Structure 1
Amino acid sequence: MGISLDGLASGLDTTALISSIIQAEAIPQTLLKNKSYDVQSMVSALQGLNSKVAALATQATAAAKPGALDLFSATTSSDKVVATATAAAKAGSIDFQVNKLAQTQVTVTDKVVGWPYTTMTINSGGQTYTITPLTSSLDDVVNSVNAAGAGVTASKVSVGGGEFRLQFSATKSGAAGAFTISDAGTTFTDVKTAQDAEIALWPGTTAAQTVKSSTNTFTDLLPGVSITAKEVTPAPVTLTVSRDDAGITKLASDLVDGANGIFALVASKAAVSTSTTTSGTTTSAGVFAGDSTVRSVNQSILSAASLPVGTPPRSPSEIGISITKTGTMEFDATKFAAALAADPAGTAAKVQEIAGRIATAATTASDKYTGTLTTTITGQQSEVRDLADRISDWDTRLASRKATLERTYSGLEVALSNMNAQKTWLTSQLAGLSSGSSSS
């Protein structure tokens, strides 16, 4: 702990004096701290950019894969049937009619208060299950059935007057869940029979064929296409699978948006701003201003998105993808739609060529091992650690310097105090001698 002797002998504020000396000698450390802050800001900005570039690399790589633009959508001519297409879908159409919806069997008992019998037999899925409740309690019956794994669940339903009916439901939908249940002296009524959904393909023709499903969904009715029936249809329904122009357009548009996201981020962090205050005008540059690595990454992605495509090479602007005066990309949906309609395969090929180039440029920059941004970030992080060590060394050096100054000034105060005491003593002695001479 430092010794404070402010003004003891000299009247000086030695604490403030030492603080001023340390502050002056700490200027090199302050410069290191400022540099460390700047480097850390750069690291943070580069990490944000790298994340965006990596996301673009993933997006572009997916778009460049064979068949990525072979997108199809499925629709039906009736709101009673919903169609869903997967990536395996191909163009085509088929007529069908929904004749039945799937049902899950539900069977109930007459009204009962207790269960007077000891065993119950359930036939389900080709197997016979004999169930023996622990007691005549309806709750025990329900628990025993539910624990039997017989493909049936039981519930106790209150019907008023202290009476109940037991409901038994199949655990599987459709005919596969059908069951029979019996117990001497008890009547069981099927309130809903087990039934598969049925559709008739090519209805009204000699080629008509019935297809069944345990649910209301028929998978792969056409390759990669499923339908789900919500109601029976009194008239034939047409399922149509066609090229998904909206999906293809969105993929191309999203690719351009992804690249523009990179350009916008770089531009915002490289911008030079000017601010005016009472003390004058200050100009400051963004963290990316003048950085060659960032400039190179930005240019490589811009070139990948805007250079000619196809054979012979043609400008991407012919399919609605063009470069602007500000160095960003622009997507013209109307022009793209016209190109897609005129030449679907050629337009898709051009988009995939652009996607492939963007994927290469973005991966080169963001690869987690060898990416130019990645290695730059690693180097900057190493510099931050080095600066932190140097700043810490300065803390030790300045603490030692402060302790030395405190000892020095404390020693000076003590010495000065001793001198003042000696002066006082000498003054008093001289005064005594003078007084003695006078009295003689």
Structure 2
Amino acid sequence: MAGIQMSGLVSGIDTASIIDQLMTIEKIPRTKITNDQAATTKKQSLLQDISTKLTSLRFANDDLKSALTWLDTQSVESADTSKFTVTRTGGAAPGGYDVSVNQLATAERQTYGFVSPTADGTLDIANADGTARVSVNVKAGADLDTVVGAINSNSKSGLYAVNVNGSLVLSSKTTGDSSGFAVSGAGVGDQTERVAGLNAKVTINGKTYERQTNTITDAMPGVTITLKGKTSGTDTVGLTVGSPGPDKDAIVSKVKAFITAYNDVVTATRADLTDARVVNASTSDDVQKGTLFGDSGLSTMLSQFRTTLSTALDGLAKPYQSMTDIGVTTGAASATLNQDSLDGKLTLDEDKLRAALDADPQSVRTLLGGTSGTNGFSQAFASILSNYQGSNGLIQARIASATTDLTDLKTKLTNFDARMDAKQALLQKQFTAMETALQSSNSAGSSLASYLNSSSS
């Protein structure tokens, strides 16, 4: 600090220590401000965590009613995937089909001797009809591996090149009887082998289809068949197309995802509600404990969620009127009392859900909210969830309030510190003035004593 600080040099009093002790007393209220900051920061963090989990729960809840979840699908199966595999690409006629794989599509293959060129030149590749495709530059003295690399690196060659025991082996990148090609020029010797490309041939329920590739997309509407191996003689392999309906595995997965998201909210919220405060907290960690202990707003939220899950929905026909009817239950319906049941976490009886989907998928869809024009569970739960989740929800409002409180506390702390600095400066100034006055008094006394001694003499 600027100015003279004599710190008891005249009075013999440790004024610096006195000032420190006085300031310690003056700064006692500062601890409450910093504790309030720590507690508010912790509360805000916990609320933000709950908000994040509520957002995940909203997405999971929306999926229950999503049209994508309830799109009709069909199973397509091959009885022998070593002969062919099948993929559904759209609506297909249900039923069984007999399939024979008579011939696989193959690519044309040609083998040539290799002669290292004595001069720079080109290796010319032509199409099956003789029209030019591309020319690959070949340097004088190039070896076979170099030529192979040049062909493979040329994207327009349409060929795979391989060095097989010193011979140049070329295979078309396409299959079928139109995959032929011709080569000539630098490095190309005599042709030693040619294997023509073949079309795929497959018979489905007595009708034969011939295609350029082993992937057949137009023989059966809505089904792609990929040929893998030939069948023997008159043997056939079964291809089965199931009846259209919702994807039960996908629906079960969406219900499980909702339960997981819901239980994440319950776990986090219950932990906050039961985290007790520390009486007479003295450390930062202790001050941050119990900031949401017994919070009435969060308790009400969980209670409303739980009620919505177990309440029968108006307008829905039996036996599917609530989530418990399809195997989604809370602790209220649990046969075994445990902490999860007490906390209200959800469990799923998957067998019950699948049985409901088998018996009446449309009613399950309506219950979950996937039927247009009818409000189901997803809509009912969303109306409660929206009170707490999102930018207009109560949780976000409390987070914003905490932000405001933290701003106010920061300002309060800054102002408090400024007052303490001013107070300390005043005390130092007062004690310095006292020391200066004592010094002046002592000097005057010494002068007077000296004068009296002189007069006496």
State the TM-score, normalized to the length of structure 1.
Answer: 0.78
Letter in 2 for 1:262: V
Q: Post-superposition shift, 1:21? A: 3.0
Number of the residue aligned with 1:255: 258
Secondary structure of the structure 1 residue equivalent to 2:380: helix
CA distance in 1, matches of 2:128, 2:295: 72
Residue number among 343, 363, 366 corresponding to 2:360 in the alignment: 343
Matches within 5 A, 1:41-440: 41-66=42-67, 68-69=69-70, 70=72, 73-80=75-82, 81-84=84-87, 93-114=96-117, 118-124=121-127, 127-129=131-133, 131=135, 133=137, 135-138=139-142, 141=147, 145=151, 149-153=155-159, 155=161, 157=163, 159=165, 164-172=166-174, 177-183=179-185, 186-188=189-191, 194-195=197-198, 197-202=200-205, 205=206, 208-210=207-209, 212=211, 214=213, 216-218=214-216, 226-234=224-232, 235-242=235-242, 244-273=247-276, 286-309=290-313, 311-312=316-317, 314-325=321-332, 326=342, 327-352=344-369, 353-367=376-390, 369-427=391-449, 429=451, 436=457
CA distance in 1, matches of 2:136, 2:249: 61
- Cα displacement string for residues 74-107 of structure 1 (whole angstroms, at most 9, x for unaligned residues): 4432242445557978965544234444545444
Which range is displaced more, 394-403 or 70-79? 70-79
Q: Which runs of 5+ in 2 are unaligned?
A: 333-341, 370-375
CA distance in 1, matches of 2:441, 2:114: 116
Secondary structure of the structure 2 residue equivalent to 1:35: helix
CA distance in 2, matches of 1:90, 1:398: 85
The CA RMSD over aligned residues, in Å, is 4.0
Secondary structure of the structure 2 residue equivalent to 1:265: helix
CA distance in 2, matches of 1:183, 1:363: 75
Letter in 2 for 1:337: R
Secondary structure of the structure 1 residue equivalent to 2:9: coil
Which range is displaced more, 130-139 or 42-51? 130-139
Q: Post-superposition shift, 1:188? A: 3.6
- Cα displacement string for residues 356-394 of structure 1 (whole angstroms, at most 9, x for unaligned residues): 433444455333x43333333233223322322332233
Tell me, yes or no, if the aligned pair for 1:96 and 1:237 is still in contact at 8 Å. Answer: yes
CA distance in 2, matches of 1:148, 1:267: 64
Q: Post-superposition shift, 1:268? A: 0.9
Tell me, yes or no, if the aligned pair for 1:365 and 1:374 is still in contact at 8 Å. Answer: yes
**Identity score, percent:** 23
CA distance in 1, matches of 2:11, 2:402: 50
Q: Post-superposition shift, 1:308? A: 1.4
- Cα displacement string for residues 271-312 of structure 1 (whole angstroms, at most 9, x for unaligned residues): 1437799x9xx9996333344543444344334433214623
With over 3 angstroms needed to count, the CA separation of the structure-2 counterparts of 1:283 and 1:402, relative to structure 1, is closer
Secondary structure of the structure 1 residue equivalent to 2:238: strand
Tell me, yes or no, if the aligned pair for 1:85 and 1:226 is still in contact at 8 Å. Answer: yes
Which range is displaced more, 232-241 or 380-389? 232-241
State the TM-score, normalized to the length of structure 2.
Answer: 0.75
With over 3 angstroms needed to count, the CA separation of the structure-2 counterparts of 1:91 and 1:411, relative to structure 1, is farther
With over 3 angstroms needed to count, the CA separation of the structure-2 counterparts of 1:275 and 1:44, relative to structure 1, is closer
Secondary structure of the structure 1 residue equivalent to 2:114: coil
